Amino acid sequence: MAKEFDVCVIGSGPGGYVAAIRASQLGFNTAIVEKRHLGGVCLNIGCIPTKALLRSAEVFESIEDAGDYGIKVDDYEADFGGIIDRSRNVANKMSKGVQFLMKANKIEVFEGKGVFESKDQLKVVDENDETQEQITADRFIVATGARPRELPNIEIDGENVIDSEIAMQLEEQPEKLVVIGAGAIGVEFAYFYNTIGTDVTIVELEDSLVPVEDKDVGKELGKIYKKKGMDVRTGSTVEKVEDDGDGVKVTIKTGDDEEVVEADVVLSAVGVTGNVEGIGLDEIGVEYERGAIQIDKETYQTSVEGIYAIGDVAGGPWLAHKASHEAIVCVEKLAGEDPIPVNYNNIPGCTYCEPQIASVGYTEEQAKEEGYDVKVGKFPFSASGKATGLGHEEGFVKVVFDEKYGEWLGCHMIGSHVTELIAEAVVARDLETTGHEIISAVHPHPTMSEAVMEAVAEAYGEGVHLGN
Task: Give a yes or no: residue 343 inside a domain.
Answer: no
Assign 468 a pLDDT band (cuts: 50, 70, 90).
Answer: low
Listed residues 270, 290, 320: the one ending a domain: 270
Instruction: Please tell me the least confidently modeled range out of 19-23, 36-40, 173-177, 350-354.
Output: 36-40
Listed residues 227, 246, 270: the one ending a domain: 270
- The answer to whether the beta carbons of residues 246 and 232 sit under 8 Å apart is no
What φ, ψ does residue 324 adopt, rounded to 5°? Answer: -65, -40
Task: Give a yes or no: residue 467 inside a domain.
Answer: no
Longest CA–CA separation in the chain, Å: 76
Give the Å distances, CA to CA, from 273 to 44, 113, 316. Answer: 18, 18, 9
The residue from 37, 412, 436, 445 that is catalytic is 445
Q: Is the dihedral of CA 120, 124, 125, 130 positive or negative?
A: negative
The reported pTM is: 0.95
Question: Distance (Å, rounded) from C-alpha 404 to C-alpha 373?
Answer: 7
- The answer to whether the beta carbons of residues 408 and 433 sit under 8 Å apart is yes
What is the number of helices (H) and of strands (E) in the chain? 14, 24
Q: Are residues 250 and 381 in the same domain?
A: no
Q: Are residues 11 and 135 in the same domain?
A: yes
Q: Convert the pLDDT of each residue in 365-416 to its tens digit.
A: 999 999 999 999 999 999 999 999 999 999 999 999 999 999 999 999 999 9
- What does the CA dihedral 134, 137, 141, 145 come to, rounded to 10 degrees? -10
Q: What is the pLDDT of residue 131?
A: 86
- The answer to whether the beta carbons of residues 275 and 256 sit under 8 Å apart is no
- The answer to whether the beta carbons of residues 459 and 435 sit under 8 Å apart is yes
Q: Are residues 7 and 122 in the same domain?
A: yes
Q: Are residues 187 and 301 in the same domain?
A: no
Averaged pLDDT, 143-160? 93
Q: Are residues 142 and 282 in the same domain?
A: yes
Query: Which residues, including other chains, have CB under 8 Å from residue 143's CB and lie 6 or more apart?
Result: 9, 10, 11, 12, 13, 15, 16, 19, 40, 309, 310, 311, 313, 323, 327
Task: Give a yes or no: residue 348 inside a domain.
Answer: no
Task: Give a yes or no: residue 341 inside a domain.
Answer: no
Domain tally, the chain = 3
User: Omega into 339 within 30° of 0, i.e. cis?
Assistant: no
Task: Give a yes or no: residue 423 inside a domain.
Answer: yes
Q: Are residues 7 and 118 in the same domain?
A: yes
Q: Are residues 380 and 431 in the same domain?
A: yes
User: Omega into 152 within 30° of 0, i.e. cis?
Assistant: no
Question: Distance (Å, rounded) from C-alpha 17 to C-alpha 46?
Answer: 16
Amino acid at 95: S
Q: Are residues 360 and 440 in the same domain?
A: yes
For 351, counting Cβ atoms within 10 Å of its Cβ (0-12 exposed, 13-18 middle, 19+ buried), the class is buried
Q: CB atoms < 10 A from the CB of 238, how many?
A: 25
Averaged pLDDT, 411-428? 98
- What does the CA dihedral 274, 278, 282, 287 come to, rounded to 10 degrees? -10
Is 445 catalytic? The answer is yes
Q: Convert the pLDDT of each residue in 7-23 to its tens digit.
A: 999 999 999 999 999 99
Q: Are residues 192 and 292 in the same domain?
A: no
Question: Distance (Å, rounded) from C-alpha 208 to C-alpha 138?
Answer: 48
Mean pLDDT of the chain: 95
Q: Convert 82-151 into a string of H (helix), E (strand) and C (coil).
A: HHHHHHHHHHHHHHHHHHHHHHHCCCEEEECEEEEEECCEEEEECCCCCEEEEEEEEEEEECCCEEECCE
Listed residues 226, 251, 270: the one ending a domain: 270
Q: Convert the pLDDT of each residue in 47-76 to its tens digit.
A: 899 999 999 999 999 999 999 999 999 999
Task: Give a yes or no: residue 464 inside a domain.
Answer: no
CATH number of 189's domain: 3.50.50.60
354 pLDDT more than 80: yes
Task: Give a yes or no: residue 47 inside a domain.
Answer: yes
Question: Distance (Å, rounded) from C-alpha 411 to C-alpha 314?
Answer: 26
- What does the CA dihedral 361, 367, 371, 377 come to, rounded to 10 degrees? 120
Q: Are residues 285 and 260 in the same domain?
A: no
Task: Give a yes or no: residue 364 inside a domain.
Answer: yes
Q: Are residues 378 and 280 in the same domain?
A: no
**Segments forming the whole domain that contains residue 55:** 3-148+273-334
Q: Are residues 27 and 135 in the same domain?
A: yes
Half-sphere exposure at residue 91, Cβ-oriented, CA atoms within 13 angstroms: 27
46 pLDDT more than 90: no
Query: Which residues, including other chains, have CB under 8 Å from residue 269's CB and lie 6 or more apart?
Result: 148, 163, 164, 179, 180, 181, 183, 185, 186, 189
The neighbouring-strand residues paired with 131 are 125
Amino acid at 105: N
CATH number of 381's domain: 3.30.390.30
